[in-house]
Amino acid sequence: MKFDHFVLRDIRPRVYCRYVDDLLLFHADRSFLTEACRRIQPQLDLLRLRLHPGKGRVCRTADGIAFLGWRVFPDHRRLVRSNVVRFRRRIRALQRRYARGEIEWEDLAARLQAWNAHAAHGNIWKLREQVFSQYPFSANP
């Protein structure tokens, strides 16, 4: 996309990450990032897009940044707490539905595998192990 090429060629951040309409720029210099935001807006205007005034910010990477349901740090990723809480509620509801015979094992297993695959992108092996051992299922209700 032309916008991505503009950012990589003209802005030249240390790291650039974009997913659909969310983007991250990484650089050691705060003033570089502030100037990058100023330079990006005219390119977004051409696409009839605007930076969200409340979401665009410059912060230290050591503190982590919330991005796509993750807290991203320079050397690892953690699931945002609300994501884990929501999954625990969902797994308890699935456990009850399965016990009542409202849901088939195949559908249940697919849902659990989907969250596990999503969670596997972060450094949360112990959390995944804890969640799945806390809510045991058997193949036959």
Domain termination residue (choose one: 14, 43, 58): 58
Q: Which two tokens stand for residue 11?
A: 């802005």
Looking at the fold, whether 24 and 52 belong to one and the same domain comes out as yes
What pLDDT is recorded for position 56? 79
Rounded to an integer, what distance in angstroms lies between the CA atom of residue 118 and that of residue 52?
Answer: 27
CB 59 within 8 A of CB 73: no
Domain count, the chain: 2
Looking at the fold, whether 43 and 65 belong to one and the same domain comes out as no
Q: Is the pLDDT of residue 140 over 60?
A: no
- Place 138 in a pLDDT band, splitting at 50, 70 and 90: low
Question: What share of the chain in percent tops pLDDT 90?
Answer: 30
Looking at the fold, whether 131 and 79 belong to one and the same domain comes out as yes
Give the range of the structural domain holding residue 76, as residue numbers without chain letter.
60-141
- The pTM of this model reads 0.62
What pLDDT is recorded for position 139? 56
What pLDDT is recorded for position 43? 93
Looking at the fold, whether 38 and 19 belong to one and the same domain comes out as yes
Looking at the fold, whether 41 and 66 belong to one and the same domain comes out as no
pLDDT tens per residue, range 30-72: 899 999 999 999 999 998 988 888 877 888 888 888 888 888 8
Looking at the fold, whether 94 and 126 belong to one and the same domain comes out as yes
Distances in whole angstroms, Cα of residue 25 to Cα of each of 51, 72, 81, 112, 123: 13, 13, 24, 33, 22
Looking at the fold, whether 53 and 64 belong to one and the same domain comes out as no
Looking at the fold, whether 69 and 41 belong to one and the same domain comes out as no
Closest by Cα among 83, 7, 14, 81 to 51? 7
Average pLDDT, the chain: 87
Question: What share of the chain in percent tops pLDDT 70?
Answer: 96
What pLDDT is recorded for position 94? 92
Looking at the fold, whether 95 and 139 belong to one and the same domain comes out as yes
What pLDDT is recorded for position 89? 93
Looking at the fold, whether 66 and 54 belong to one and the same domain comes out as no
Q: Which two tokens stand for residue 73?
A: 């740090």
- Place 123 in a pLDDT band, splitting at 50, 70 and 90: confident
